[in-house]
A = this chain, B = another copy of it.
Amino acid sequence: MIKKIILAALALLSLQPSSTMAQTKRSFTLEDIMWGGKDFWSHRPAGHFSTFWGDRMVELSVEEVKTLSDAKGRLGKASTLFTLADVNAAIDTATTQPVYALYSAQFPEAGKTLALLQTATANLLYDWKTKQIVWQGPRVSGSSHNDFTYASRSEAFVKDWNLFVTTADGKTHQVSTDGSRELQYGQSVHRDEFGINKGTFWSPKGQLLAFYRMDQTMVTDFPLVDNEPRVATLAPEKYPMAGMTSHKVTIGVYNPSTEQTIYLQAGDPTDRYFTNIAWSPDEKTIYVIEVPRSQDKAELVSYDAATGRRLAVLYTETNARYVEPCNPIVFLPWDSSKFVYQTRRDGYNHLYLFDTTGKELGQLTKGTFEVIEMLGFNETTRSIIFKANADSPICHNIYAVNVKTGKRTRLDNGQGVHHAQLSSGGRYMIDTWNAPNVYRHVDLASTTAPSAVNVWADDKCYEAFNMPQITSGTIKAADGVTDLYYRLVKPVDFDPNKTYPAIVYVYGGPHAHLVDASWNYSARPWEYYMAQRGYVMFVLDSRGSEYRGFEFESCTHRHLGDNEMKDQLEGVKFLKSLPYVDSNRLGVHGWSFGGFMTTNLMCSYPDVFKVGVAGGPVIDWKYYEVMYGERYMDTPQENPEGYESSSLLPKAKNLKGRLQIIVGYNDPTCVLQHSLSFLKACEDAGTQPDYFVYPGEGHNMAGHMQVHLHDRITRYFDDYLK
């Protein structure tokens, strides 16, 4: 099944501390690792910023833009294209704010010396040959959700809940007028599920704007409270809870030239999800993947962009558990009658080729691995470039698949975790990667065959600090068959004759993994910190987590927590088998789904863990929102047994160890009702959890508050586990 690689043996040579060395090194502070104290960042390599101008690799910095390679992918002497001073000399500073940095410069046309830049008040097109601003468009004060298209030099944005468009001529068009907190335009919908993260979608030529409209008037308000004003004030959040009335989404299409909006004629939007909006290259058709509330079906539906008329259902997929489309269709650049569709219908996420009549032309990728991201095309070789874990479940490598032959080629070194950025024609890529013992490399490579040339190599990091030994490996899941990957962090100054307390850091939910083959196996700096304080840290990606196929993820369907916990218990068995782990001093910590897991483990296996810290936990899935919650749990009406058995409220009475629950008081994701209901259940049952809240914080603590949070978490383990 899954190709195994045992990475445990890959000891991190550069990080192996010796006890003599350790004396001259220092340990981290929480300021160092959670906030980036000066001493910390000064021991990490500086960032690199680069992009492409056509096929040329370009280095970006605050002050300067330089070409690093020629149009044939050959690295050469760096050559300055222009400087920040050049740009600001061209700006009319009487009317326009200066540009402060060139990090985000874009080069929209391979054949032209044009850079697209942005200030707080304008989009600018700078010609570094003539040293002129050749075009300028306004950015409206107070706007948000800004979405600029170079194709027509238009920008969509939201202001005061309404949707607007500025066109290249500088004119501002108001698209909606009745926007409100309850009726939103141009913003992400369905609570960012199904891969949705924005609400505006420009057509390829920038002539039409598809946008989401979400009516939430029928959705219950959750009474969040803002504690900051003179008298605390209600700050309600529209929050559709599992099984309850949900919002209604429709898709509009705005034409700035006619100033008209039409809506896609999709029928009654009640209990339906409209996901993964895509345009045909000719801008005439809009494609939407439609999912009913039951999430057991996905339909690829085409609409006439001019009239909104529903044209056809091109593809239908059903699954008794759930179908979860997260990627819009993508047309082949060289053939506008064909597109790529991603689905996990064979058990793993793969690429399929369809034509616009809905005819399936073939499966482009196949195997017991997952396509993680489709990056684009090499238009010359007519290949699709994508990221996948085909060589190892914990590696992310870059591959090309030839659309015609189906031949797959790995383009990188096959190690570690790679991120790639393609050149405009897709012939080259900037391959930024890391591996357990490689902090970061940036390579320039062809997308035709493996050919990486290193540009920057940052191998040494944290050399001034006492670093722990970090290893990885696999154990069997509770099913006895499936391999699960773990990360093990030993205490600094490890003495094999001593025993140590051990803390399991857990997540366990879908759409996430914690262990991969990136630097230090993705260890979090807090793990170094705890290792410096004498803890063994252990992390295991159980069934239910991502990139291991549909069965691996969905075996948790309708009873979230059960298999995930069984797998963590296998991890505990492994931990207990280590002679240096004190089996009587096991702790567990996790946030969000990991907070659910932590609380669940503390209450379901009260004799295993002595101490737990659960952040922003789900306590009962009935308090979670419909899109995510019902996908995995169905509705409370459909699955009463599953909701009952996965609820932590009846388990509150079992709590024996020390459990601290920590939440953001203004968490709009796992609302306060979860933790408060659990406290009430414990209070009624006579058990004693601990509790802490961060007023003004959401589902995760922001910025410097992470220092306070991790001080808190650490103190709790120090108080009760050390």
Contacts and interface: CB of A to CB of B under 8 A. Distances in A.
Interface of A: 220, 222-223, 225, 227, 230-234, 239, 241, 244, 622, 665, 671-673, 676-677, 679-680, 683, 686, 688, 690-696, 705, 707-708, 711-712, 715, 719
B692 A677 contact: no
A232 B622 CA distance: 12
Contact of A688 (B230, B696, B712): B712
B234 A241 contact: no
19 contacts: A220-B231, A222-B232, A223-B232, A225-B225, A227-B676, A230-B244, A230-B622, A231-B241, A676-B693, A677-B695, A679-B694, A683-B694, A683-B695, A683-B708, A686-B707, A686-B711, A688-B712, A688-B715, A691-B692
Given A225-B223, A230-B241, A232-B673, A691 B688 contact: no
A702 to B, nearest CB: 11
Interface of A, secondary structure class, is mixed
Contacts of A220: 231
A672 B719 CA distance: 28
A692 B244 CA distance: 30
B671 A695 contact: no
Contacts of A223: 223, 225, 232-234
A582 to B, nearest CB: 20
A683 B679 CA distance: 22
- Chain B CB within 10 Å — which of A690, A694, A711 has the most? A690
Given A707-B686, A708-B683, A711-B688, A244 B227 contact: no
B688 A705 contact: no
- Chain B CB within 10 Å — which of A232, A679, A705 has the most? A232
Contacts of A683: 694-695, 705, 708
A364 to B, nearest CB: 45
The 3 closest A-B pairs by CB, nearest first: A676-B695, A223-B234, A227-B676
Contacts of A676: 227, 232, 665, 693, 695
Given A223-B234, A231-B673, 4 more contacts: A230-B244, A232-B676, A676-B693, A691-B691
A223 B694 CA distance: 18
A673 B225 CA distance: 10
Contact of A244 (B231, B688, B690): B231
A272 to B, nearest CB: 22
Contacts of A622: 230
Contact of A680 (B227, B239, B244, B673): B227
Contacts of A711: 686, 688
Nearest to A233: B223
A662 to B, nearest CB: 10
Nearest to A236: B234
A690 B711 CA distance: 13
A561 to B, nearest CB: 22
A504 to B, nearest CB: 23
Given A223-B225, A223-B232, A686-B708, A696 B680 contact: yes
Nearest to A232: B673
A690 B692 CA distance: 7
Contacts of A234: 223, 234
A500 to B, nearest CB: 23
Contacts of A695: 676-677, 679-680, 683
A222 B231 contact: yes
A318 to B, nearest CB: 31
A553 to B, nearest CB: 29
A712 B676 CA distance: 17
Given A232-B222, A234-B234, A691-B692, A227 B677 contact: yes
Contacts of A672: 225, 227, 232
Nearest to A677: B227
B671 A232 contact: yes
Contacts of A712: 688
A223 B680 CA distance: 20
Contacts of A225: 223, 225, 672
A719 B692 CA distance: 17
A318 B721 CA distance: 61
Contacts of A231: 220, 222, 239, 241, 244, 673
A234 B220 CA distance: 12
A123 to B, nearest CB: 37
